[in-house]
Amino acid sequence: MNQDAFTFLSTRLSYPSKAMTGPAPDRAALQPILQAALRVPDHGKLEPWRLIVGYRPALARWADLAEARAREEGSDPERIEKGRGQFDRSHLAVVVIAAPKASDKIPEIEQTLSAGALCAGLVNAASAAGWGAQWLTGWVSHDRPFITRAFDCDAREWVAGIIHIGSKAAPAPDRPRPDLARVVHWA
């Protein structure tokens, strides 16, 4: 048993992106995190995802695009803030784009699960490297015009997650965890 790895996974917490501060990992510090996360299960080696790394200039652009899109829809101020806020407050975001490939052997659901596993892997790798990390989505992740403009998603692509990574300002709060007796069935 790898006790250190088990202890890390059994005590790991997502760090709230609203509480993150700068600095964020620079390119040299981020590359090993990305490399670790890319060890994700990928049946058929299709690589049914792509990553977009955004630092402050890109984040500012995405915030402006989110606000413009929300205003285009006539959204209320709360929706505008939710859309632009996650980008305004962030120092680094890695956008995981699910990009399913046509395959007779690998069902699209397995490709989707691979994209989700990549998001979880990024949070775990960044956390293991000592950074705060949180996987967010929000309306911006599901709005087709926004993801087309911001992330150049084609019609088959979609946002699996926006992983915010930064420095921790204070210890992360824990949340209630599932009760094994309620969610596990022993067959």
Residue ranges of the binding site for FMN: 12-14, 39, 43, 135-137
Report whether 129 contacts 32 (CB < 8 A).
Answer: yes
Distance CA 7, CA 17 (A): 23
Give the Cα separation of 161 and 120 in Å (integer).
9
**128/138 Cα distance (integer angstroms):** 25
Residues 182 and 176: beta-carbon distance below 8 Å: no
- Residues contributing to the annotated binding site: 12-14, 39, 43, 135-137
Q: Cα separations (Å) of 166 from 15, 25, 33?
A: 9, 7, 13
